[in-house]
Amino acid sequence: MDDRRPTYNDYNYYSYNKPPKKRGLFSYFIVALVAALIGGVISAYIAPTYLYGRLMPIPEIYKNSGSTISNEIKITPTEDISAVTAVAKKAIGSVVGITTVQVQRELIWEREVQGVGSGVIVDSNGYILTNSHVIGDGKAKKINVLFENGDKAEGRVLWNDSALDLAVVKVEARNLQVADLGDSDNLEVGQLAVAIGNPLGLDFQRTVTSGVISGLHRSIRVDEYNIMEDLIQTDASINPGNSGGPLLNNKGEVIGVNTAKIKTGEGLGFAIPINVAKPIVEQVIKEGDFNNVYIGFQGTEVERYERQLGIDLHIDSGVVVIEVLPDSPAEKANLKAMDVIVKIDNQPIDSMIQLRKILYKYKVGDKAVLTIYRNGKEEKTEIIFSDFR
């Protein structure tokens, strides 16, 4: 019999080196179950929020499913957003503010009224295109032009037409930044449209708003005797101070002159096509003035007339005479209501805007031969243009 007492090393031996006990199948089942539960929690809740995209790559199932990972949401600028920024940088230096002082008569006294609008530089030597109503239809007592760099200059009206709501103002300046003029004849609904101007006065100078061209060839009645035709409609925000400022395309080219002369509903703005203004600007810069000729009738396109009234005029194109104004060149040329003008000096006429553009080629006193359809027969008549009344 061994009377030796166990030592520390004996305990050490038995504590760390004895063979392990055999485990049953139930023990392995419990371990596997717990591991599965922990893995499910990590996969469903912890990994998407804290691990994917940081320590682990995002699985394809998250990329392609409707599930999103909150800290991985990114807003990528679209093409239109970047285009608006580029347009603003290119064109904003050619946009000016215009302030006016107008005299308003009230009963037996007069008072001075201040006005604010916008304009766009069309020639480096100080020629600025704006709306006629911005400069009081030529009756403003004082006109000041404010440039982007803070300079100011006194302006004077070279030409204006209240019916077109266009005007050209001249300031004594050189080397100004000139806007590029685009082509408004090739516009399509849905194109990007950017407006720049002073919507609520000089406190909001050169505000940029954007939208799309939401309509073309719009006609709006301004008052009892004046209808503005073939306007560009846009949902870019246009307020009174925007008047005279440019409407631009995605290339930063001026495609229209914004006008807030028309009272509209929310989300509707209108601009005068730049192609209407181009011949005027060219002549004013060249000769210092522009004298537009006058026919004296109200009309509309054949297609529009047929569509609105549901009738067939049995002619493909032309301009329908709706009303002949008294003592006008049209009346003296024996034009009558329901005549369809199809040519001026053999130049085909398809629309009112085309007719107006062709008339810019004529001067007061010029003669032209109109080809018309009356009661289904072709006739010709001579007209002598006078100045606008």
Instruction: Return the closest-CA partner of residue 315 out of 325, 306, 323, 324.
Output: 306
Catalytic (active site) residue 133: yes
- Name the catalytic one among 118, 165, 210, 230: 165
183 is catalytic: no
**Which pair of tokens denotes residue 71?**
């800290």
CA distance 305 to 327: 25
Q: Which of 94, 184, 214, 243 is catalytic?
A: 243
Query: How many Cβ atoms sit within 10 Å of the Cβ of residue 36?
Result: 10
Catalytic residue, candidates 94, 118, 132, 133: 133
Task: Please tell me the distance from the alpha carbon of residue 347 to that of residue 368, in angstroms, as a whole number.
Answer: 11
Is position 243 annotated as part of the catalytic site? yes
Q: How far apart are CA 200 and CA 208, in angstroms?
A: 12
Active centre residues (catalytic): 133, 165, 243
